Structure 1
Amino acid sequence: MYNSPTAHPVFDYLFSPTVLGFGIDPDYQIDIINELDFANATYGITQVAGLHNNSKAFLFRDAGRAVHAPDHINEKVVQLFRSKSEFTFLASIQQKSSTSGVIFSIHESEHSYFELESSGLREEIRYHYRYKGKPRSESFPYRLADGQWHKIALSISATHLQLHVDCNRIYERVIDPPQMDLTPSSGVWLGQHSHKHGLFKGTIQDVKLIFAPNGYITQCPNLNRTCPTCSDFLSLVQGIMDLQELLAKMTLKLNYAESRLTQLEGCHCERTCSANGVVYRDKELWLEPENCRNCGCKNGVAECRRIFCPPANCSEDSLPVHVEGTCCKKCRPKCTYMDQSLSEGQRLLAKRCRECKNGVMVKVTENCSALNCTLREQILPDNRCCNVCKGYDFCAEGLICGENSECKNRNTRAECECKSGFKQITSVKMKLCKTCQCLFMVICYISYALYPQPFHLLDAS
């Protein structure tokens, strides 16, 4: 007992209507009688009434005749045999009692690739074919030559043979796989083996070659297919073998990946930090003098803190001032001039320009450029001896500002101002920049974390 083929999704395609025969692709079937076109052939054959009126039927008389296919049909048959591993031969016949003859033949010279013969004397059906260049024959005891109409279907699927007569499966065998590689000069004959041999006597109708699984259903639509053909199984087996090979390859790749993961889990992968185009190792420290910050790499994150400057604690004769290239103020001798205390580098314009230098006010000789604005439009910048026009771009002189801050022009100087969303975290006015922190509860840096508290990593001097 066979299970229904629809019981497993693998068979969904194999048992589709186009494969079952109810809608076979016309490219995979040949209607022999229509292709032969007997309209002009009168000697030895006569059109008569057949088993039904849906197609033409011809009576083959006991006379010399040559009913064979033209070259283009021979070529089509050869191509289909070469490209397929299964086919079905169909025919409806009414054979004269106790006669013998070939119903259909494909051969070259004496080499029969497919030949179906009915022997009324021995009451048997014979199938002739070739296997690996050698002739083979299968005999099936059955009486076709009884003067009655019979529908015959011979199906070949690799090594599997089925013979249906009148829509009944009367034989099923395992045979040597027929040779499907027909020679180009092979000829197709109907009702005879050749000009004078194997002449069939009787009426033939509905002769077809179907190159699809279980083509007999075209002849007997009521026969439901109960199991896949050998070719179906071969295709399934090949598919399973391909899947097994793919599974083996995937298993090897998976095992390799698991091995690599195990190795990676056992190794120490050091996390690094990147800042200003430089890569630092974990726990490595560095100084950013332009931003007056000490930085360190911690678990892949660069953490930076403003350099802590201790109180200057200057003596009475000195004042804390910024020195070029340093972040913290240093004590320098102060100057006293006209009852004013001036720090190192501070200038005063009184008749002549003077500058505090090493505790002494010295004259500054400076050639001032001519201005293209009126005197009322001129201003004196901080610590300068020469006027400039109002609207002068002090930032263009190259003031360097720290991270999250930008240069802004004031009336008499340039200053660094925090960008939107940041605020100043020190009240000390620095010459180079102001350090800013985020105003909101969000991360405002990409690779740095800023802290306002003191942080001693490097010498602040």
Structure 2
Amino acid sequence: MQEVRITSGPHGYLSSCPHLDSTCPTCGQFFLLQDTVRQLTQHLQELSNRLLAAEQRIGRVEECDCQKSCQVNGSVHADGATWQIGCDICSCVHGEVKCHPVECPELSCKHPVNKSGDCCQSCLKHCLFYGQFYDHGEQVTIKKCVECQCDDGSMKCVRTDPETNCPRLTCPPEQQFSVPDHCCKFCPGPNTFPELFTDSISATPFTPIGLTPVFQNHKVEKKNN
């Protein structure tokens, strides 16, 4: 019976078999080498990620010369940022603040309004009155001493009292005359009469006091403020 001896170490088998080929690794050596390669690959990936992050940071630092922030009233705005101050649109362009007014849309109504807090005018609701549409703010006289005005979709009418709302006339009562669709009476005269009715009626001018005025082609449809 041969003597059995156990030899430890990575190449312990060479003590018993000195003529064997020692260039081929054992299983233990192969597993050790495989684990070492895996660790090196992991370290290489970590280094690649850190290098990429460093390159990105360096790129941002190199761009600092052209991307300058803007400071407005204690607030810092990045280059290219846009914000609104009141009715102005402002932007940061390479460290310089540039502003321009808010662009308002074109309106089709006759009487646009300025709402509190809005930068642009807006149109209010129309009024449908006796089959006809009226813009907000538009006035119409429906009959003598009654005048109506469109107010955001609602037609509001006011009756004028000739005794309290008409101006006091200086001519005698027999010289005072009325005009169709006008609540107040007037005194004849060369100066006041044409100025009062040039836009609304066609009248035959006259100068002598006491003559009854004659109106032709009278037409009062509506009034625009």
The question of a shared fold, defined as TM-score above 0.5 by the shorter chain, is answered with no
Q: Counting helix residues as a fraction of each chain, which structure ranks higher?
A: 2
Q: Who wins on radius of gyration, i.e. which is larger?
A: 1
Q: Counting strand residues as a fraction of each chain, which structure ranks higher?
A: 1
The TM-score normalised by the length of structure 1 is 0.17
The TM-score normalised by the length of structure 2 is 0.30
